[in-house]
Amino acid sequence: MALKSPPDSLLHFLRQYPGYYIVAHEEPDGDSIGSQLAFASFLRRRGKQVILLSPGPWQRKEIAPYRSFFLDTLPKSEVRLHFGLIVLDCSSLSRTAQFASILEGLDTGVIDHHQPNGIVQGIVQYIEPNAPSTTLLIQKIVEAFGDTPTPEEARYLFLGFATDTGFFRHLETEASESLELLSRLAVKGVTPKSIYRETFGNYSLESRRYLAKILSTMEPYFQGKLLLTHILHEEYQSFGSEHRQSDPLYQLLLSVEGCEAVAFLREEEPKKTSVSLRSPSTLNVAAIAQKLGGGGHKNAAGYITSLPYQEAKVELLEQFRLLFGNNP
């Protein structure tokens, strides 16, 4: 099944305004930032003014070089009412933190690859949950205008694809079309090797100690079907935010024989625990995250709870008990 093409209503919306705000979700990642940068460049080439907004916090090293291109505040009184608003890599303004109330009321277009969970913002929507990254949807829009990405845009688009697919590892049913789109980025001179270095290289030594700390807490539940890890508030705080890189954790644990799901609970504050869930194949962790107030994809999802770690763990294990039965 082919990926949905951008609807005509979106192409019309992108012609309609002299300028656009482009915003994406908080805790930006390579896909949200890559989508914003590539789209901004494309629209500017088409004579549009673009203001890039990001709520932050900027925690991921692969996007750090681009921070200066984004505003993190915008006085409500200065909002240009003749601009359109483009929301990327999420479908609700509530995911944009401080910008939600500031930008409310502007004509909005949403471009996202997540299954919507709740109200979708926007007069025009291009939502394709089968797309492995938002950047591929941006590329499809550029191509729908009969254009091709510049080498710089191609690099941003590849970056988003690389981070959201774990460098191709999570590609599934839409692989053939995705790789066709990617091949057209490679034509522009983007090499997978350089993107790999940018996204999965140059970690700090401290980030490896953080990983070791988390790995040492690993507990198997339900005969090893669930591998649960955590970090408590005090330890979490002892690592600088730039060293809290947990992506390799999932790669390591999901490859364990018999593992059907991985949970990582971070007690970020005494009454705020972020829970990340991953599964290697069929188990739908988004369904669990949604029940507990979050969302995501079948194989990668999460939620935030106001419970401290121990209670959050009990609540989560209860959900897995419904799936795996009564033997913890």
Please, are residues 131 and 174 in contact by the beta-carbon 8 Å criterion? yes
Stretch of 30-38, 94-102, 148-156, 303-311 contacting Mn ion, by CB under 5 A: 30-38
Find the shortest distance in angstroms from Cβ 65 to Mn ion.
19
Judged by CB under 5 A, the chain residues 133 through 152 that form the site for Mn ion are 134
Encoded tokens for 148: 């091709």
103-126-293-251 Cα dihedral, nearest 10 degrees: -120
Find the shortest distance in angstroms from Cβ 131 to Mn ion.
9
User: What's the CA gap between 263 and 223, in Å, rounded?
Assistant: 15
Taking 3-state DSSP, the helix, strand and coil percentages for the chain, each rounded to the nearest 5, stand at 45, 20, 40
Find the shortest distance in angstroms from Cβ 130 to Mn ion.
13
Task: Confirm or reject binding of residue 62 to Mn ion (CB under 5 A).
Answer: no
User: What's the CA gap between 52 and 225, in Å, rounded?
Assistant: 42
| Number of residues located near Mn ion, criterion CB under 5 A | 4
User: What's the CA gap between 227 and 260, in Å, rounded?
Assistant: 8
Q: β-strand 272-278 against 261-269: which pairing, if any?
A: antiparallel
Find the shortest distance in angstroms from Cβ 273 to Mn ion.
23
Find the shortest distance in angstroms from Cβ 212 to Mn ion.
28
Task: Confirm or reject binding of residue 128 to Mn ion (CB under 5 A).
Answer: no
Q: Decide whether 128 or 164 has the Cβ nearer to Mn ion.
A: 164
Stretch of 13-21, 24-32, 255-263, 281-289 contacting Mn ion, by CB under 5 A: 24-32
Q: Tell me 220's DSSP state.
A: E
Nearest residue to 287 via CA among 295, 279, 278: 295
Judged by CB under 5 A, the chain residues 205 through 264 that form the site for Mn ion are none
Find the shortest distance in angstroms from Cβ 144 to Mn ion.
20
Encoded tokens for 222: 């339900």
Q: Decide whether 302 or 324 has the Cβ nearer to Mn ion.
A: 302
Q: Decide whether 31 or 153 has the Cβ nearer to Mn ion.
A: 31
User: What's the CA gap between 221 and 328, in Å, rounded?
Assistant: 5
Number of H helices, E strands in the chain: 12, 11
User: What's the CA gap between 286 and 31, in Å, rounded?
Assistant: 19
Judged by CB under 5 A, the chain residues 42 through 61 that form the site for Mn ion are none
Q: Decide whether 62 or 164 has the Cβ nearer to Mn ion.
A: 164
Task: Confirm or reject binding of residue 31 to Mn ion (CB under 5 A).
Answer: yes
Encoded tokens for 63: 């996007």
Stretch of 126-134, 200-208, 258-266, 289-297 contacting Mn ion, by CB under 5 A: 126-134
Judged by CB under 5 A, the chain residues 89 through 108 that form the site for Mn ion are 89
Q: Decide whether 214 or 294 has the Cβ nearer to Mn ion.
A: 294
Which residue's beta carbon is nearest to the bound Mn ion? Answer: 31
Please, are residues 72 and 54 in contact by the beta-carbon 8 Å criterion? yes
Q: β-strand 272-278 against 226-231: which pairing, if any?
A: unpaired
Judged by CB under 5 A, the chain residues 156 through 175 that form the site for Mn ion are 164
Nearest residue to 162 via CA among 193, 188, 189, 184: 193
Find the shortest distance in angstroms from Cβ 23 to Mn ion.
14
Find the shortest distance in angstroms from Cβ 89 to Mn ion.
4
Q: Decide whether 111 or 214 has the Cβ nearer to Mn ion.
A: 111
Q: Decide whether 27 or 315 has the Cβ nearer to Mn ion.
A: 27
- Tell me which residues touch Mn ion (CB under 5 A): 31, 89, 134, 164
